[in-house]
């Protein structure tokens, strides 16, 4: 049964040929990942995006791809010094058919301290490629390029279309990258049918989506007075202390008790969570000399609430407001304001979606095991494909170990890149209907 798809595309021999073609590019995939790492696309501020987009574009242009370079002008961080460049490469097939798109972000986070190799040296050693972005996600980008190139060599008359994009700013929300392109129709039907994002989630895992996010700023208000007579004022920091206490005693335990049917990894994230990102009140920390003797009249807290498919965004917001409203009823002079900063709904592609089925079949054939289906605790660019592009047929699948992302001595295994490239090539074969 499992072999039927391969038989339809020219037989098992053709599929074996495709797998051999990918395997034959082992050195090439390592070199490509290393070359990409050597372009330090650190975000913030968003350096060298153009160089990286052009490096990718030049390679794919030589292989018959049409190139669109898109600068996300006016998006956060875009400036003449740090322009938000993206590249979308498209290769039309010999006849009409669906389009499969591989999307990778080209930005990486700062190197940070603690490295034993040059984070932008593209060091290849002991079967691994080291460097900032090796696993998140230049290794995944390299694997997808190799998969597509091997596929085109073996099936030059393929139907449909193949796209590869290198996009900016995923690490800072994707506004200058996938969100901007999605608004221009780059991630919608009829242009695109299936999207695979090679984020590092391990080569036998299919990431179906992510939890939701709501960031908000809560401010408590008080009244300024002399610090020697605090009873003449009203301390906004103490009011914020009451908020913290209520979160600690009521909200956080209630969230921890809520479990989801989403297969979120790690399992600790299979509940609702609340992080307190920051808290500030009264005089700033950067004062010169002695602190001012004042009762603080304002305190601010930023919260990061991650929520589940089983919860609604309105319900999530109402729950926090409920805690604050109860304090307003029970605590003298308690006043607050709350401001939405950022929100993303949870998303989860169905397991029977064609892109999930095709990648699952690839994992079974290449890895000889059942795929693990996962959901990411945090969001990634799939949110824009879903929300702006209105395309449900999107997953993350790529090589690399998620835990290594953003760490010193980040690396990607060369065998992992090759194996995931084989899975991607097989998925491409299946999705294009060969």
Question: Catalytic positions, please?
Answer: 107, 170
Quick one: 47 or 92, whose CB is closer to Zn ion? 47
Residue 37 sits at the vertex; the CA angle it makes with 34 and 42, to the nearest 5 degrees, is 180
Provide, for the chain, the percentages of residues in helix, strand and coil under a 3-state DSSP scheme, each rounded to the nearest 5. 35, 25, 40
Question: What is the DSSP secondary structure assignment for residue 292, as one 8-state letter?
Answer: P
Nearest approach, Cβ of residue 199 and Zn ion (Å): 5
Quick one: 103 or 272, whose CB is closer to Zn ion? 103
Residues in the chain: 434
Which residues on neighbouring strands pair with residue 216, listed in sequence order?
303, 340
DSSP string, 412-431: EEHHHHHHHHHHHHHHHHHH
- Which residues from 1-20 bind Zn ion, rule CB under 5 A? none
Query: Which of these, 348, 365, 336, 362, lies nearest to 426 by C-alpha position?
Result: 362
With H, G, I as helix, E, B as strand and everything else as coil, classify residue 190: coil
Nearest-angstrom CA–CA distance, 115 and 407: 9
Kindly tell me which residue out of 34, 137, 374, 423 binds Zn ion, with binding defined by CB under 5 A: 137
Quick one: 78 or 136, whose CB is closer to Zn ion? 136
Nearest approach, Cβ of residue 417 and Zn ion (Å): 15
Quick one: 137 or 324, whose CB is closer to Zn ion? 137
Site stretch for Zn ion (CB under 5 A), options 67-75, 136-144, 351-359, 396-404: 136-144
- Which residues from 65-94 bind Zn ion, rule CB under 5 A? none
Phi, psi (deg, nearest 5) at residue 404: -80, -15
Nearest-angstrom CA–CA distance, 259 and 285: 39
Site stretch for Zn ion (CB under 5 A), options 126-134, 191-199, 273-281, 363-371: 191-199
Burial class, 146, CB count within 10 angstroms (exposed 0-12 / middle 13-18 / buried 19+): buried
Q: In the structure encoding, which two tokens stand for residue 315, read together? A: 């319900």
Query: Which of these, 385, 358, 424, 384, lies nearest to 191 by C-alpha position?
Result: 385
User: Closest CB to Zn ion belongs to which residue?
Assistant: 136
Encoded one letter per residue, x for contact with Zn ion by CB under 5 A and - for no contact, window 325-364 reads ----------------------------------------
Nearest approach, Cβ of residue 220 and Zn ion (Å): 36
Nearest approach, Cβ of residue 140 and Zn ion (Å): 8
Site stretch for Zn ion (CB under 5 A), options 181-189, 196-204, 304-312, 355-363: 196-204
Quick one: 46 or 222, whose CB is closer to Zn ion? 46
Angle at which helix 313-330 crosses helix 236-246, to 10 degrees, equals 130
Quick one: 109 or 345, whose CB is closer to Zn ion? 109
Site stretch for Zn ion (CB under 5 A), options 95-103, 197-205, 354-362, 386-394: 197-205
Nearest approach, Cβ of residue 196 and Zn ion (Å): 14
Nearest approach, Cβ of residue 38 and Zn ion (Å): 18
Query: Which of these, 126, 147, 143, lies nearest to 36 by C-alpha position?
Result: 143
Nearest approach, Cβ of residue 198 and Zn ion (Å): 9
Q: How many residues bind Zn ion (CB under 5 A)?
A: 3
Contact 429, 34 (CB under 8 A): no
Contact 412, 129 (CB under 8 A): yes
Nearest approach, Cβ of residue 309 and Zn ion (Å): 22
Quick one: 87 or 327, whose CB is closer to Zn ion? 87
Residue 207 binds Zn ion, judged by CB under 5 A = no
Quick one: 172 or 260, whose CB is closer to Zn ion? 172
Site stretch for Zn ion (CB under 5 A), options 57-65, 192-200, 216-224, 326-334: 192-200
Site stretch for Zn ion (CB under 5 A), options 129-137, 142-150, 153-161, 277-285: 129-137
Kindly tell me which residue out of 54, 107, 136, 234 binds Zn ion, with binding defined by CB under 5 A: 136
| CA-to-CA separations, 424 to 143, 151, 309, in angstroms, rounded | 8, 9, 28
Query: Which of these, 366, 373, 385, 429, lies nearest to 14 by C-alpha position?
Result: 429
Footprint on this chain of Zn ion (rule: CB under 5 A): 136-137, 199
């Amino acid at each position: 049964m499992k072999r039927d798809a391969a038989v339809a595309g020219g037989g098992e021999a053709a599929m074996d040929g495709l797998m051999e073609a990918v395997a034959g590019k082992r050195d090439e995939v390592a070199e490509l990942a290393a070359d990409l790492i050597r372009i330090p696309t650190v975000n913030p501020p968003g350096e060298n995006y153009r160089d990286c987009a052009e490096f990718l574009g030049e390679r794919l242009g030589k292989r018959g791809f049409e190139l669109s370079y898109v600068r996300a002008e006016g998006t956060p961080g875009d400036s003449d010094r740090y322009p938000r460049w993206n590249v979308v490469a498209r290769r039309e097939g010999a006849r009409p058919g669906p389009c499969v798109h591989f999307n990778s972000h080209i930005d990486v986070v700062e190197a940070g301290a603690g490295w034993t190799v040059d984070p932008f040296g593209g060091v290849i050693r002991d079967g691994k490629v080291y460097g900032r972005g090796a696993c998140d996600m230049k290794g995944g980008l390299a694997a997808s390029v190799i998969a597509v190139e091997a596929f085109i060599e073996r099936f030059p008359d393929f139907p449909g279309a193949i796209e590869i994009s290198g996009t900016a700013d995923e690490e800072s929300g994707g506004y200058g990258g996938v969100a901007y392109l999605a608004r221009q129709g780059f991630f919608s039907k009829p242009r695109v049918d299936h999207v695979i994002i090679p984020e590092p989630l391990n080569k036998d895992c299919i990431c179906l989506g992510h939890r939701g996010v709501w960031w908000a700023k809560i401010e408590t208000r008080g009244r300024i007075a002399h610090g020697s007579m605090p009873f003449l004022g009203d301390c906004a920091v103490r009011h914020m202390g009451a908020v913290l206490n209520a979160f600690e005693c009521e909200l956080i335990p209630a969230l921890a008790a809520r479990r989801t049917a989403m297969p979120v990894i790690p399992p600790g994230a299979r509940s609702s969570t609340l992080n307190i990102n920051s808290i500030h009140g009264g005089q700033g920390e950067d004062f010169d000399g002695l602190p001012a003797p004042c009762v603080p009249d304002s305190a601010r807290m930023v919260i990061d609430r991650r929520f589940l498919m089983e919860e609604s965004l309105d319900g999530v917001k109402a729950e926090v407001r409920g805690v604050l409203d109860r304090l307003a009823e029970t605590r003298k002079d308690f006043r607050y304001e709350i401001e939405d900063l950022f929100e993303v709904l949870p998303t989860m592609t169905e397991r029977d979606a064609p892109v999930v089925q095709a990648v699952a079949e690839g994992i079974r054939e290449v890895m000889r095991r059942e795929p693990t289906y996962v959901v990411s605790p945090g969001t990634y660019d799939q949110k824009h494909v879903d929300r702006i592009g209105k395309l449900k047929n999107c997953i993350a699948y790529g090589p690399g170990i998620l835990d290594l992302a953003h760490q010193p001595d980040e690396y990607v295994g060369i065998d992992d890149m090759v194996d995931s490239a084989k899975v991607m090539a097989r998925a491409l074969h299946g999705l294009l209907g060969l």
